[in-house]
């Protein structure tokens, strides 16, 4: 079938004029001797009144009556004025949900008719409409489907019969109509006078004539929930490549990820068998084209249906595991783009069962592989913002060791999923736990140890002691990937909760003053003992001030010296840039090794204004992590106070995260700092920087 006529795009109606009766009616002289039409009189060949090109055709009684879903008898249909060539439907009722073949045969046609007319198109249209080939790239209406007769002849789907009749055939794919249920259809055949040009070349002088007969159709009801159908009932040999056909019904438009490209991803996830909750990253994905709502970009599936054949590589699925299937639109999400695994996945349902393929009745199975060690992590997410992450690692089919031991490690993994050797945990499996080659072990992973912004995996290792002082030999037996849960919202929530537990801020404050920030840093340092001067260094802070010790401590540590007017101004709001400067000086004061030139602070520093530049900031700030930080552009403004401290904050991943398309933007220009913003700064500073990229 010519793909040129495959329906796609937006629905549109034909605006071509009806053909006048004087052109449409066949000359009786061309039909004499044709038995199916022998009794037709000139009156019977009359056609409806011609309709002006800019006016729609008036519906005939048959077209206007919605109850006429069942056509009249074949003999009556082939003798109607709309069917001057005597077409008969030979294929029966079409199930438009399942597709099928539509075939018609004309009456025997005389040589004079064949000489005078040329067949042009054969197709299916809504009741009463004309079949129109699109001009200048305009799409066919969604209810039309067909092909040029010349193309059908080339495919062997339009052929002449010995009695002079012609048979036309169309193969209709599944779910090809995007029209309301109850729509009625016609089969149409168009032709034009042979002495006229091809209608496609002269679309504004259209000499086409149309013959039509009703096409009876049925339609299967669409499921109310996403439904997947497969050509197999289970995956019995997951250690081999598995090729299967998948059909999806009631598959609603998927979530577009990363821009439109008119394709979707059929995706498999492992799920917790107890809860059905998706775990970890996708284990398999397969691209299928989007076919519906394609005015500019396709955004869904035609009639909420797709069909595809896909091959799952050997070893991708594990026996006895539960898997879920669903759809992403246009791209798979990158880590961090989803609030949780599969949150953007649409039309989710349970996938086929994956069986071990064990032979029955102890019969040998040549395809059955030798049992291999299997590692299973029911819940695969780890959270760096959580104090402790507890995972269950289930391992089976381990061979006994005469020397050495097995152990688990939690390691950072690279982009290809290979362990990097950077470990957050090592845990030996006691030999007595492996008497039968299987065990369940609890792995406790501190969130603070997850300081790698990529991914992690649980690795099962075999350790053989080295001989004669040689290093131990470590062999990776198997591994399972983990998902590192990182998000802006989760980080901020963790920061606020951590500051609350540390009792660093007054919970009633939303916008922080110089007093609030100074006291918080004093408490963070452990509220150390301070030798308090009898006379306050600030005119507006008295020795009986409840926060006198914190304010004096901050001065002694070089964190703040107040303003040039000799006052501290404790209740004045602190700006973002000044807050960053406080943090920089705090870290230098309490960790002098990180800044050699500041290892000994002056005992009586010269007071400086907190709104001036800091000449004691090193020329080179500490270098940030070399891994990709696409949302942490280095601070570039050099015409503002504390620009060096601001640069330090971005390099240390403490402040400056900018993901504006999601509404997350941390700048340095605000005149105030909120309690949640300061909490994030403190949390990041004390936890090795943010995990956000």
In this predicted structure, what is the pLDDT of residue 73?
Answer: 42
pLDDT digits (tens, 9 = 90+) for 477-524: 998 888 888 888 888 998 999 999 999 999 899 999 999 999 999 999
**Band of residue 149 on the pLDDT scale cut at 50, 70, 90:** very high
Among 430-439, 510-519, 605-614, the range of highest mean pLDDT: 510-519
Q: Is the pLDDT of residue 357 over 90?
A: no
In this predicted structure, what is the pLDDT of residue 138?
Answer: 58
**Band of residue 258 on the pLDDT scale cut at 50, 70, 90:** confident
Token readout for 217 is 């159709």
**Band of residue 19 on the pLDDT scale cut at 50, 70, 90:** very low
Q: Domains (ranges, CATH) in the chain?
A: 3-218 (2.60.40.1930), 227-350 (2.60.40), 370-486 (2.60.40.1930), 489-686 (no CATH)
Mean pLDDT of 446-460: 84
Strand ranges of the sheet holding 227-230, from the earlier edge strand across to the other edge:
227-230, 242-249, 305-312
- C-alpha to C-alpha distance for 103 and 120, rounded to whole angstroms: 16
Range in 102-116, 334-348, 354-368 with the lowest mean pLDDT: 354-368
Q: Is the pLDDT of residue 419 over 70?
A: yes
pLDDT digits (tens, 9 = 90+) for 200-246: 766 667 788 999 999 999 988 889 999 999 999 999 999 889 999 99
Question: Phi and psi (nearest 5°) for 22?
Answer: -65, -25
Mean pLDDT of 254-281: 87
Cα→Cα distances 585→483, 578, 616, 683, Å: 36, 11, 10, 16
Question: Phi and psi (nearest 5°) for 51?
Answer: -105, 140
* Helix and strand numbers, DSSP H then E, in the chain: 12, 27
Q: Higher-confidence residue: 254 or 667?
A: 254
In this predicted structure, what is the pLDDT of residue 367?
Answer: 54
Element (H, E) at 126: strand 117-126
Range in 38-52, 70-84, 614-628, 640-654 with the lowest mean pLDDT: 38-52
Q: Within 13 Å and on the Cβ side, how many CA atoms surround 35?
A: 3
Beta bridge partners of 166: 160
Closest CA to 317 of 248, 393, 374: 374
Give the 3-state secondary structure of 201-214: CCCCCCCCEEEEEE
Mean pLDDT of 44-65: 36
**Band of residue 18 on the pLDDT scale cut at 50, 70, 90:** very low
Beta bridge partners of 168: 104, 158
Q: Is the pLDDT of residue 65 over 70?
A: no
Question: Phi and psi (nearest 5°) for 134?
Answer: -70, 140
Q: Higher-confidence residue: 328 or 358?
A: 328
Q: Is the pLDDT of residue 109 over 90?
A: yes
Q: Higher-confidence residue: 455 or 127?
A: 127
**Band of residue 461 on the pLDDT scale cut at 50, 70, 90:** very high
In this predicted structure, what is the pLDDT of residue 182?
Answer: 85
Range in 42-46, 536-540, 624-628 with the lowest mean pLDDT: 42-46
In this predicted structure, what is the pLDDT of residue 368?
Answer: 53
How high does pLDDT run on average in the chain?
79
Mean pLDDT of 68-95: 70
Q: Are 592 and 599 in contact (CB under 8 A)?
A: yes
Q: Which residues contact 603 (CB under 8 A, 6 or more apart)?
A: none
Task: Tell me, rounded to whole angstroms, the distance of Cα 225 from its chain centroid.
Answer: 20
Q: Is the pLDDT of residue 54 over 60?
A: no
User: Could you say which DSSP state residue 195 is in?
Assistant: T
Beta bridge partners of 395: 375, 439
Backbone conformation region of residue 382, classed left if phi is above 0, alpha if psi is from -120 to 50, else beta: beta
Q: Are 244 and 225 in contact (CB under 8 A)?
A: no
Q: β-strand 94-95 against 217-218: which pairing, if any?
A: parallel
Element (H, E) at 150: helix 149-154
User: Could you say which DSSP state residue 267 is in?
Assistant: E
Per this entry, what is the length of the chain?
A: 693
Q: Higher-confidence residue: 498 or 612?
A: 498
In this predicted structure, what is the pLDDT of residue 68?
Answer: 34
**Band of residue 351 on the pLDDT scale cut at 50, 70, 90:** very high
Token readout for 390 is 């507890």
Element (H, E) at 643: helix 643-651
- C-alpha to C-alpha distance for 288 and 298, rounded to whole angstroms: 12
- C-alpha to C-alpha distance for 554 and 111, rounded to whole angstroms: 108
Q: Is the pLDDT of residue 417 over 80?
A: no
Mean pLDDT of 462-477: 90
Cα→Cα distances 387→130, 374, 449, 503, Å: 70, 29, 10, 17
Q: What value, to the nearest 5°, has the Cα angle with vertex 45 and ends 44 and 47?
A: 105
Q: Is the pLDDT of residue 62 over 60?
A: no
- C-alpha to C-alpha distance for 222 and 562, rounded to whole angstroms: 73
Closest CA to 653 of 685, 618, 689: 689
Q: Which residue has the tokens 């193969």?
A: 171
Q: Higher-confidence residue: 78 or 500?
A: 500
Q: Are 304 and 249 in contact (CB under 8 A)?
A: yes
> pTM to 2 decimals?
0.55
Q: Which residues contact 5 (CB under 8 A, 6 or more apart)?
A: 121, 123, 133, 140, 144, 145, 146, 147, 148
Task: Tell me the DSSP string of 520-570.
Answer: HHHHHTT-------SS-SSTT--TT-TTHHHHHHHHHTTS----TTS---T
In this predicted structure, what is the pLDDT of residue 101?
Answer: 94
């Amino acid at each position: 079938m010519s793909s040129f006529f495959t329906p796609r795009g937006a629905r549109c109606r034909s605006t071509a004029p009806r053909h006048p009766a004087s052109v449409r009616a066949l000359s009786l002289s061309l039909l004499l001797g044709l038995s199916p039409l022998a009794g037709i009189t000139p009156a019977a060949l009359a056609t409806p009144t011609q309709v002006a090109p800019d006016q729609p055709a008036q519906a005939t009684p048959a077209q206007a009556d919605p109850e006429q879903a069942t056509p009249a008898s074949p003999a009556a249909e082939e003798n109607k004025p709309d069917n001057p060539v005597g077409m008969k439907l030979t294929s029966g009722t079409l199930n438009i949900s399942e597709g099928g073949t539509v075939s018609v045969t004309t009456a025997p046609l005389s040589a004079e008719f064949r000489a005078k007319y040329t067949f042009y198109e054969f197709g299916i249209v809504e009741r009463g409409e004309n079949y129109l080939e699109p001009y200048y790239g305009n799409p066919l209406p969604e209810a039309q489907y067909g092909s040029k007769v010349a193309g059908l002849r080339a495919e062997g789907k339009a052929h002449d019969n010995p009695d002079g009749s012609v048979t036309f055939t169309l193969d209709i794919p599944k779910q090809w109509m995007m029209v309301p249920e109850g729509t009625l259809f016609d089969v149409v055949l168009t032709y034009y006078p042979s002495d006229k040009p091809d209608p496609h070349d002269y679309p504004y002088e259209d000499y086409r004539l149309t013959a039509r007969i009703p096409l009876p159709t049925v339609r299967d009801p669409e499921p109310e929930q996403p439904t997947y159908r497969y050509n197999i009932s289970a995956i019995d040999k997951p250690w081999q490549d598995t090729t299967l056909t998948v059909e999806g019904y009631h598959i609603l438009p998927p979530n577009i990820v990363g821009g439109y490209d008119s394709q979707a991803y059929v995706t498999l996830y492992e799920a917790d068998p107890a809860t059905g909750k998706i775990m970890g990253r996708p284990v398999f994905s397969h691209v299928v084209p989007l076919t519906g709502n394609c005015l500019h970009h396709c955004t869904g599936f035609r009639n909420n249906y797709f069909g595809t054949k896909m091959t799952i590589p050997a070893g991708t699925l594990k026996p006895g595991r539960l898997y879920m299937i669903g759809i992403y639109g246009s791209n798979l999400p990158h880590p961090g783009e989803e609030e949780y695994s599969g949150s953007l996945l649409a039309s989710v349902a349970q996938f086929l069962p994956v069986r071990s393929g064990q032979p029955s009745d102890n019969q040998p199975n040549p395809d059955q592989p030798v049992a291999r060690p299997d590692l299973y992590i029911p819940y695969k997410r780890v959270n760096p913002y959580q104090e402790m992450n507890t995972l269950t690692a289930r391992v089976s089919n381990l061979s006994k060791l005469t020397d050495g031991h097995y152990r688990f490690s939690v390691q950072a993994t690279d982009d290809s999923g290979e362990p990097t050797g950077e470990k957050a945990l090592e845990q030996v499996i006691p030999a007595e736990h492996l008497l039968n080659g299987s065990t369940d072990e609890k792995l406790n992973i501190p969130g603070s140890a997850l300081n790698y912004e990529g991914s992690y995996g649980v690795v099962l290792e075999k350790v053989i002691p080295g001989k004669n002082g040689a290093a131990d030999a470590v062999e990776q037996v198997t591994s399972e990937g983990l998902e590192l849960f990182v998000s802006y919202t989760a980080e901020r929530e963790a920061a606020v909760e951590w500051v609350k537990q540390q009792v660093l801020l007054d919970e009633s404050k939303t916008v922080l003053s110089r007093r609030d920030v100074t006291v918080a840093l004093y408490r963070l340092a452990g509220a150390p003992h301070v030798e308090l001067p009898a006379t306050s260094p600030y005119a507006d802070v008295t020795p009986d001030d409840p926060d006198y010790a914190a304010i004096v401590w901050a001065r002694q540590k070089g964190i703040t010296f107040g303003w040039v007017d000799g006052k501290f101004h404790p209740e004045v709001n602190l700006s973002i840039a000044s807050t960053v400067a406080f943090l920089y000086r705090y870290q230098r004061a309490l960790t002098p090794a990180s800044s050699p030139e500041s290892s000994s602070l002056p005992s009586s520093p010269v007071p400086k204004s907190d709104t001036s530049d800091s000449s004691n900031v090193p020329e080179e700030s500490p270098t940030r992590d070399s891994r990709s930080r696409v949302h942490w552009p280095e601070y570039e403004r050099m015409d503002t106070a504390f620009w060096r401290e601001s640069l330090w904050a971005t390099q240390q991943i403490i402040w400056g995260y900018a993901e504006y398309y999601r509404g997350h933007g941390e700048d340095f220009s605000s005149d105030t700092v909120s309690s949640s913003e300061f909490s994030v700064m403190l949390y990041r500073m004390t936890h090795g920087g943010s995990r956000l990229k």
